[in-house]
Structure 1
Amino acid sequence: MLKFVKGYMESIDGVATYPMISLLIFFVFFTLLFWWVFTASKSYIKEVSELPLEEDNQQNLEL
């Protein structure tokens, strides 16, 4: 099976560019995510982190 896949991949023109594109997309995504984490306002993070607790409290009040 591996020989078939290797032979098939070698027959594709420019197949070496696909791993490089995947690595670039991966790097750009996590770089932007890292940047967002450090530039997000603390008040927004606090507000979002308390959302699950607010929903739970509202459900308990309705019971």
Structure 2
Amino acid sequence: MLKFVKGYMESIEGVATYPMISLLIFFVFFVILFWWVFTATKEHIKEVSELPLKED
């Protein structure tokens, strides 16, 4: 089974770029997430954290 998958993956042109693209997307997402966490105001975080407890 592994030989089949390895042979199939080797037949795809440019297959080595897909892991690099997914790593880049992963890295960019978490950099943006960390930036948002560190720049968010305390009031906004408090408001969002209380949303599940509020009754309409």
TM-score range, shorter chain: over 0.9
The equivalent of 2:9 in structure 1 is: 9
- Scaled by the length of structure 1, the TM-score of the pair is 0.84
Give the C-alpha shift of residue 2 in structure 1. 0.8
Q: Which has the larger radius of gyration?
A: 1
The alignment covers a number of residue pairs equal to: 56
Extract unaligned runs of 5+ from structure 2: none
- Scaled by the length of structure 2, the TM-score of the pair is 0.93
The equivalent of 1:34 in structure 2 is: 34
Extract unaligned runs of 5+ from structure 1: 59-63
The equivalent of 2:48 in structure 1 is: 48
Alignment partners' CA distance in 1, 2:50 and 2:13 = 51
The equivalent of 1:61 in structure 2 is: none
Runs of 4+ aligned residues of structure 1 deviating over 4 Å after TM superposition are none
The residue matched to 1:14 in structure 2 has which SS? coil
Alignment partners' CA distance in 1, 2:51 and 2:22 = 34
